[in-house]
Amino acid sequence: MDHVARIQAEWRAERPDLDTSPQGVIGRLHRIANQLTNELTLLYARYGLSEGEFDVLAALRRAGAPYERAPGELALHTMVTTGAISKRLDRLEAAGLVERRRSDADGRGRVVRLTPAGRRLIDEAFTAHMANERRLLEALSPDETAQLERLLTTWLAYLEPPGATRAPEVRR
């Protein structure tokens, strides 16, 4: 019996009038998410990066040559808020992984560009990241992995409709 099942059993004993089955999914998903975050951040740290810094470098690399985006655009393409982007960019720039310059299109705007050192680092870190994610999915067969991806895609589309910038408020 896992941790979530023990909690559900305790609730069933105390509140037999309530259906605790949603807790079986949500509780396990929450515990898995925490474990995954721990595993992923350990890998990022091996490359001297935080989770947010990895995300910023990856967003720049995914942009394609010349590997640049405006700071506001970076916020849209990462899991980092606009307020947090500046701090991460400061650290990444100090490490020589990105550079900021004025936009050619708008002299008042700024763009962030991946440096050659930044590109080498994110290419190496992303390769290791994919191997790490593959390792984390080893408990599931390829069919189970594909099924889980389909289920999570459906669920995420419900919670975070396409085009939405954030999940809808939960009604109470």
Q: Same domain for 64 and 140?
A: yes
Question: Mean pLDDT of successive 10-residue segments in the chain (172 residues)?
Answer: 94 96 95 97 97 95 95 84 86 96 74 97 98 97 97 94 58 44
Does 7 map to a domain? yes
Same domain? 24 vs 60: no
Residue 165 within any structural domain of the chain: no
Per-residue pLDDT, 167: 46
How many whole angstroms separate alpha carbon 97 and alpha carbon 13? 55
Do 139 and 60 share a domain, yes or no? yes
Structural domain for 12, as ranges: 1-46
Structural domain contains residue 112: yes
- Overall number of domains in the chain: 2
57 and 40 in one domain?
Answer: no
Both 35 and 86 in one domain: the answer is no
Enumerate the β-bridge partners of residue 68.
Answer: 113
